[in-house]
């Protein structure tokens, strides 16, 4: 029989924790976050169970949780939804077996690990520009570059580079439209607000709400 539950006993504590959090110069890590050999900027937030491996994660960006990022460079002001995977590892399909057994050899008692495979993976870094939104469950494949201001739809699999301010969806991801007209995009790229220092950003913050005002004042 289904039961109506008004609220789980721990719900208030969890809600208050999220509502009361304050971001700052130090990154904010939720539970079960793993960061290895990476650089993380200010005013950032890594949601629960985010893995960040040999990557950079720049100012004002966040993950919503259950995100894996390997060998990638993430720009500023990026919004990364839950269950996104950036740069999932490739396997050596040219070998007799593409299993871990030929390169994670220590685990199987077969000698030292195969450094060549890991270097091969590192060589195919992903680059995510500033102000990119990656929707729920999106996958960005090795070596892909996503331009500034782009949007990747939920569940999309990005196998090719994405132009600035383009919106892509599907498997494999294809462009459907741009966020703004080309002349507006050109001006936004010239203004490059993501490079403003904190004081300038605070001073001009209210102008972020209106694209026409923003372009007129700073374009």
Comparing 82 with 113, the larger pLDDT belongs to 82
**pTM of model > 0.85:** yes
Selection from 40, 31, 115, 28 nearest residue 72 by Cα = 40
**Whether residues 161 and 198 fall in one domain:** no
Sorted by sequence, the CB contacts under 8 Å of residue 40 that are 6+ apart come out as 27, 46, 52, 56, 57
Q: How confident is the model at residue 6 (pLDDT cuts 50, 70, 90)?
A: low
**Whether residues 140 and 153 fall in one domain:** yes
The answer to the question of residue 131 being in a domain is yes
CATH at residue 170: 2.160.10.10
Q: Each residue of 52-100: pLDDT tens digit?
A: 999 999 999 999 999 999 999 999 999 999 999 999 998 999 999 999 9
User: In the prediction, which pLDDT does 219 show?
Assistant: 86
The answer to the question of residue 192 being in a domain is yes
Given a cut of 90, whether residue 1 has pLDDT beyond it is: no
Selection from 151, 214, 159, 209 nearest residue 177 by Cα = 151
84, with CB counted inside 10 A (0-12, 13-18, 19+), is buried
The answer to the question of residue 2 being in a domain is no
**Whether residues 60 and 145 fall in one domain:** yes
Which residue range forms the structural domain that includes residue 198?
180-219
Q: Each residue of 23-33: pLDDT tens digit?
A: 999 999 999 99
The answer to the question of residue 8 being in a domain is no
Given a cut of 80, whether residue 39 has pLDDT beyond it is: yes
Q: Each residue of 167-205: pLDDT tens digit?
A: 999 999 999 999 999 999 999 999 999 999 999 999 999
**Whether residues 219 and 130 fall in one domain:** no
**Whether residues 142 and 193 fall in one domain:** no
Evaluate whether 79 touches 63 at the Cβ level (below 8 Å).
no
**Whether residues 128 and 189 fall in one domain:** no
The answer to the question of residue 215 being in a domain is yes
**Whether residues 138 and 187 fall in one domain:** no
The answer to the question of residue 155 being in a domain is yes
Given a cut of 60, whether residue 3 has pLDDT beyond it is: no
Please compute the mean of the pLDDT values over residues 10-30 and round it to a whole number: 78
Peptide bond into 136 cis (omega under 30): no
The answer to the question of residue 146 being in a domain is yes
- Report the catalytic residues: 91
**Whether residues 162 and 191 fall in one domain:** no
Given a cut of 80, whether residue 11 has pLDDT beyond it is: no
Evaluate whether 74 touches 61 at the Cβ level (below 8 Å).
yes
Number of domains in the chain: 2
* Strands 28-29 and 45-46, sheet pairing: parallel
**Whether residues 196 and 173 fall in one domain:** no
**Whether residues 199 and 153 fall in one domain:** no
**Whether residues 82 and 137 fall in one domain:** yes
Given a cut of 60, whether residue 121 has pLDDT beyond it is: yes
For residue 106, CA distances in Å to 29, 102, 110, 152, 208 come to 31, 10, 6, 38, 52
Q: Each residue of 40-58: pLDDT tens digit?
A: 999 999 999 999 999 999 9
User: In the prediction, which pLDDT does 20 show?
Assistant: 72
**Whether residues 141 and 153 fall in one domain:** yes
The answer to the question of residue 14 being in a domain is no
């Amino acid at each position: 029989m289904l039961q109506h539950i008004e609220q789980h006993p721990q719900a208030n504590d969890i809600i208050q924790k999220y509502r009361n959090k304050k971001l700052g110069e130090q990154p904010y890590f939720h539970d079960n976050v793993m960061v290895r050999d990476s650089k993380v900027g200010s005013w950032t937030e890594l949601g629960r169970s985010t893995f960040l491996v040999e990557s950079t994660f720049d100012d004002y960006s966040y993950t919503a949780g259950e995100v894996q990022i390997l060998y990638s460079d993430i720009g500023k002001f990026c919004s990364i939804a839950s269950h996104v995977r950036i740069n999932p590892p490739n396997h050596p399909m040219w070998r007799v077996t593409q299993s871990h057994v030929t390169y994670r050899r220590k685990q199987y008692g077969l000698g030292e690990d195969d450094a060549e495979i890991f270097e091969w993976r590192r060589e195919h870094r992903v680059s995510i520009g500033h102000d990119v939104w990656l929707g729920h469950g999106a996958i960005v494949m090795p070596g892909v570059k996503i331009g500034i201001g782009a949007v990747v739809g939920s569940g999309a699999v990005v196998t090719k580079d994405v132009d600035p301010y383009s919106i892509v969806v599907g498997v494999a991801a294809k462009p459907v439209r741009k966020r703004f007209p080309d002349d507006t995009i050109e001006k936004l790229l010239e203004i490059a607000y993501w490079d403003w220092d904190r004081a300038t950003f605070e001073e001009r913050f209210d102008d972020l709400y209106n694209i026409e005002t923003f372009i007129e004042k700073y374009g």
